[in-house]
Chains A and B, each alone.
Chain A
Amino acid sequence: MIDIIDTYWLYFLVGQYPDGPLGGLVLTILLGFSALILALPLGIAFGLARVSERRWLRWPVTALVYIVRGTPLLMVIFWAYFFLPSVTGHKTGQFATMLTALVIFNGMYIAEIVRAGIQGIPKGQMECARSLGLSYSKAMRYVILPQAGRNMLPSFVNQFVTTLKETSLGYIIGLAEVSFVANQINTLLLTRPVAVFSTLALAYFILCFGLSRVAYFLEVRRNRQAT
């Protein structure tokens, strides 16, 4: 195992970069991080629509959330793969395809986190803010969301872990992220699948377990503050 890491560690980390496109573990982290950052505004907007009092806003968004959450991510990736070129008019790279699919898919999950966070704040807070003369949007912005945000933070970190794991599906459309690179190394070596895939699993484990510990720590701290 050591000899494989010794030979291929750079390829594993950054793919063919700087002679070719960026890949490997760095691309995995970059993709996961940008997907979460871009999905946040979408998720917050949809989460607000899910608790809105206006039916014409709430119902279609609820339907969309249910549909996307009932579809496998792989299906969403294939849709993005087929639709993006015909919508944008030119060939879309694997990174953009994967990013689009992840943003749409995770946006819906974040919408549910936001909805649960808002609904977890006692109703009296909104009523109180409104009766003090704040408008609905101001009450949401200055009273509800800051409190809900603190409760949602651990869920966001957990969602980031999920997103990182989901980037591995880029393998299927040929995106050179770390699973794809590992599979390439396995093909080159032919006889060492146990060592190659164990290294890959270990890399994901260190990344995701570390982050899920951060979420756990945030949760413990929040519960301590609440009491």
Chain B
Amino acid sequence: MPHFDLAAVLTDEFRGWLLQGLLLSLELMTIVWLLALPLATFTALCRLSSLAPARWLGFVLVEGIRNIPLLVQLLFWYFAVPELLPESVRAWLYEHNAEFICAAGGLTLYTSAFMAEDIRSGIRAVPITQLEAARALGFGFLASMRRIVLPQAIRIIVPPLLSQSLNLWKNTSVATVIGTAELMYQAQRVETASFRGVETFTLTTIAYLCVSLTITALAIWFQRRFPVRAA
């Protein structure tokens, strides 16, 4: 094996590819996160609803998505979903970076199913008596939600949500299978072009770790700063 030489993969060309990949990965994570959170909240509320059909919809969404591997879902989104779309939409999709849109769609659904379960258990963890006590003291429903229930629920929900964000960050790497040009895809490209596997993967691993450990640190900080209080 030739000796370890980081400079070999830090030439302008290769560095550019890797940076582009990192930026696209971060972009993918941000878009998916922003789309998944409202969808997850909706699914969680469905599962907590008093309407049986809404509960069933939530259950099917969560269990269906969580029990199928992300890779299979991405393959489905990329190969099968365009077949189901009308001709004009399909043409539009292939003109507008289909790899990125399909990856974002698949990752959003996948992430939202996991986030929904965290949000649901967070809301359920606040005893109903808290709401009842607030109402008895004369708070309106919205005021008691805003001032009594949600502040307690958020302390419980945020740490698991942060760990789902970490999973999301790691899962963006799977998008490479459908050819989304994110960090893992660019790493393979640099590796093929430079024959410097160890150096390329060292850099890529460090890049992934920097973002992962930042999210982990944020989670630890949050749990120290805002510990869950016994109700």
State the A residues within 8 Å of B (CB): 66-67, 69-75, 78-79, 82, 86, 161, 165-166, 168-169, 171-172, 179, 182-183, 186, 193-194, 196-198, 200-201, 204-205, 208-209, 212
Contact = CB atoms under 8 A, between A and B. Distances in A.
Contacts of B209: 67, 70-71
B72 A72 contact: no
Nearest to A75: B205
B67 A208 contact: yes
B72 A194 contact: no
Given A73-B170, A197-B76, A168 B208 contact: no
Given A72-B170, A74-B173, A197 B72 contact: yes
Contacts of A204: 67-69, 72
Given A70-B209, A169-B174, A186-B79, A201 B216 contact: no
Contact of B67 (A74, A79, A161): A161
Given A165-B70, A205-B64, 18 more contacts: A69-B212, A70-B166, A71-B212, A72-B172, A74-B176, A74-B184, A78-B197, A78-B201, A79-B205, A82-B198, A168-B69, A168-B70, A171-B177, A183-B75, A193-B83, A194-B80, A197-B72, A204-B68
B221 to A, nearest CB: 15
A75 B69 contact: no
Contacts of B84: 194
Q: Which of B1, B75, B76, B212 has the most CB of A within 10 A?
A: B75
A194 to B, nearest CB: 4
A82 B201 contact: yes
B164 interface: no
B71 interface: yes
Nearest to B71: A168
Q: Interface SS of chain B: helix, strand, loop or mixed? A: helix
A196 B216 CA distance: 38
A201 B63 CA distance: 12
Contacts of B75: 179, 183, 197, 200
A168 B67 CA distance: 12
Interface of B: 1, 63-64, 66-73, 75-76, 79-80, 83-84, 166, 170-174, 176-177, 184, 187, 197-198, 201, 204-205, 208-209, 212-213, 216
A194 B76 CA distance: 7
B205 A165 contact: no
B201 A72 contact: no
A197 B174 contact: no
25 contacts: A70-B170, A70-B208, A70-B212, A70-B213, A71-B170, A71-B212, A72-B208, A74-B173, A75-B204, A82-B197, A82-B201, A165-B67, A165-B68, A165-B70, A166-B69, A169-B71, A172-B176, A172-B177, A179-B71, A183-B75, A197-B76, A197-B80, A204-B69, A209-B63, A209-B67
A97 to B, nearest CB: 14
A186 B75 CA distance: 11
A179 B62 CA distance: 22
A198 B79 CA distance: 11
Nearest to B166: A70
B83 A179 contact: no
A211 to B, nearest CB: 9
A3 B176 CA distance: 31
